[in-house]
């Protein structure tokens, strides 16, 4: 069975490149351009992994993470990576505790 990966990224070039790379590596990848109903998209696609951008237009990746976890009810660990400008990595575990590292 092929793993399913959902890409939530607002930059079209990055979103498309990630999708191409993942599909070339034999993953089933979806990369919606509309972020109006991310929890609904997650529920419909049922991904094994979600690549979630923190800085999305009009919404926070952290808020989306909380909404996604409510829909999936099976996610015990989520990693959100901020690639610019500070290159910080944020971790959210099942207790909603967030630690920041550089």
Q: State pLDDT tens for residues 41-67.
A: 998 998 888 888 888 888 888 888 888
Grade residue 79 by pLDDT with cuts at 50, 70 and 90.
Answer: low
CA distance 83 to 81: 6
Helix (H) or strand (E) holding 5: strand 4-8
For residue 100, tell me if it sits in a domain. no
* Cα four-point dihedral sign 72, 64, 101, 29: positive
First to last CA, the chain: 36
CA distance 82 to 1: 30
Q: What CATH number does the domain containing 52 carry?
A: 3.40.50.2300
Q: How many domains does the chain have?
A: 1
CB-based contact 47:5 (threshold 8 Å)? yes
Question: Which residues span the domain enclosing 81?
Answer: 4-95
pTM > 0.95: yes or no: no
Give the pLDDT of residue 82. Answer: 52
For residue 101, tell me if it sits in a domain. no
Output the six-digit token pair for 75.
């996610």
More confident residue, 79 or 95: 79
């Amino acid at each position: 069975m092929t793993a399913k990966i959902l890409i939530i990224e607002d930059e079209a070039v990055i979103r498309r490149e990630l999708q191409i790379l993942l599909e070339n590596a034999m993953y089933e990848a979806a990369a919606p351009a509309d972020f109006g109903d991310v929890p609904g998209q997650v529920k419909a696609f049922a991904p094994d992994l979600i690549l979630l951008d923190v800085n999305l237009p009009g919404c926070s990746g952290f808020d989306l993470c909380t909404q996604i976890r409510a829909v999936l009810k099976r996610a015990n660990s989520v990693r959100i990576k901020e690639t610019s400008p500070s290159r910080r990595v944020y971790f959210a575990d099942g207790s909603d505790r967030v630690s920041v590292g550089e």
